[in-house]
Amino acid sequence: MSDLRTGAVARLFDDLSPTYDQSGVAFFSPVAERLVALVRPVPGEQVADFGCGRGAVALRIASAVGPDGSVTAMDLAPGMVAATAEEAERRGLTWLRAVTGDAGGPDLPAASLDLLTASLVLFFLPDPLAAVRCWLDLLGPGGRIGITTFGEQDEVWRAVDDLFDPYLPPGMLDPRTAGRRGPFSSESALAALVSEAGGQVTASVEEPLPVRFADVEQWERFSLSTGQRQMWQLVPEPERAGLRAAAGRLLESARPVPGGAIEVRQVIRCTLVERL
């Protein structure tokens, strides 16, 4: 990852680390559960989790591989690394090592891993093809990679995200907008990228994830606690109230039961990769 991109992403997620996955919205945990179910870690495996955030995937895998295995949880943001390390210590997962590092060029020995995971990470990298090539080189015999990316959103959530589009610079590396084009637009497009990198997709699962907000205010807190905060920052302050109001009208239409929770859906794509 370029120095400029590395610094920008690191600062964004370091700023997010106190509130990331802390809004009370079930999102990162069910995404992690789906990925861990696909990759099936077993006791004794050597694992790395790139872009670990606050440990949603890494902590689950550490519990699965047990003390005879090891997990390296890596993130660009020191705040995320600290949060993961603190939670691992609280749970007694002494075989989990949380480190600061770049998923696009991790400093790990070749052929040292049984399993590598990267949940909602690959689309942030400026050169996903180079990253997958690098990741494949880290796998030992029979090793595998588990990746999550975004599929389609429902109409309401997509319309809410579209409200930000006029403020975004061309080519902005936002995960949900990136998911509409290029290697993240479909299962086949991602499989083509993996193939070009020297790997093969051995399993791919796309499932809608229902995401529930008690009210519009909780949606706003959630969006500001994720990478979408950078989109908010691009909206001029005088125009943010209008955007909130427009988003609120859309979201209020997504209450299946009057007075109940707002419910929107995001398809999550889980992909299992092995070397050719």
> In this predicted model, what pLDDT tens digit does every residue of 11-49 receive, in sequence order?
999 999 999 999 999 999 999 999 999 999 999 999 999
Mean pLDDT of the chain: 94
Confidence at residue 97, expressed as pLDDT on a 0 to 100 scale: 98
> In this predicted model, what pLDDT tens digit does every residue of 250-271 receive, in sequence order?
999 999 998 899 999 999 999 9
Confidence at residue 177, expressed as pLDDT on a 0 to 100 scale: 52
Q: Indicate whether 194 pLDDT > 50.
A: yes
Strand order in the sheet with 199-213: 96-100, 70-75, 46-50, 113-119, 139-153, 262-275, 199-213
- Domain ranges for the chain, please list them: 3-153+180-213+265-275
Does the pTM exceed 0.85? yes
Q: Indicate whether 180 pLDDT > 70.
A: no
Confidence at residue 172, expressed as pLDDT on a 0 to 100 scale: 64
Residues of the chain above pLDDT 90, percent = 87
CATH architecture of residue range(s) 3-153+180-213+265-275? 3-Layer(aba) Sandwich (3.40)
